[in-house]
Amino acid sequence: MLDEHVTLESLLTDSVSKKHLPKAGYAHVVSTAEYAFELATQRNICVDLATKAALLHDIGHTNWERRGEWDYESYNEFDIHTIKGAERAHELLILKGESLGKAREIALAILFHSDSSPVNKNVKLTPLQSLVAEADDMDEQEGGAHHNVEISFGEALQRIRRLDMLVYPHIRDCGFDCEKCDCLK
């Protein structure tokens, strides 16, 4: 793969992701990225942006666990994970060398991924933003149980490497010229 292309693997294995993604659960964020890939392929939306936004969509989560259970009540009342996630993901992406245009689109998709968030009021979502929200919903279980599904880091890494291999031909077909992509206009 091209050196300058920021891979999903490089995002998953960063220490910021390792610190924050387990709060939402590797199973949930990896499954959401897989769903996002499928939806993006069907809708002809950039699979690179979709999978990166989906992988990082819950990086803003705080630990909502209480006595081993997901505390859904507190979460619904006090959560601001979309705001924290957008900022955190943006910083991580820039650190990894992502283009400014792509980092902005990914951060905005994270900011608007949950309709439980007050920032979504009266916002008309772009196709990418809707896609990430839908991919997230596809993995949802009642009472936030999807956050408690466990897989090992090794399995998460294996599935993310597979996604990197699937994304690569798409960006190669675009000529790696993401800055001129319609997705960033």
Interacting residues with Fe ion (CB under 5 A): 58, 114, 136
- State the minimum distance, in angstroms, from the CB of residue 30 to Fe ion: 11
Least distance (Å) between residue 50 CB and Fe ion:
14
Q: Which two tokens stand for residue 92?
A: 């991580």
To Fe ion, the closest distance from the beta carbon of 79 in angstroms equals 8
Q: Give residue 41's identity as a one-letter amino acid code.
A: T
> What is the Cα–Cα distance from 163 to 37, expressed in whole angstroms?
8
Find, among 77, 78, 102, the residue nearest to 92 by Cα. 102
Q: Which is nearer to Fe ion, 62 or 99 (CB)?
A: 62
Quick one: 105 or 136, whose CB is closer to Fe ion?
Answer: 136
Smallest separation, CB 124 to Fe ion (Å): 20
Do residues 30 and 156 lie in contact, with contact meaning Cβ atoms separated by under 8 Å? yes
Instruction: Answer yes or no: are the C-beta atoms of 8 and 146 closer than 8 Å.
Output: no
Question: How many CB atoms are closer than 10 A to CB 119?
Answer: 12
53 versus 93: smaller Cβ distance to Fe ion: 53
58 or 178: CB nearest Fe ion:
58
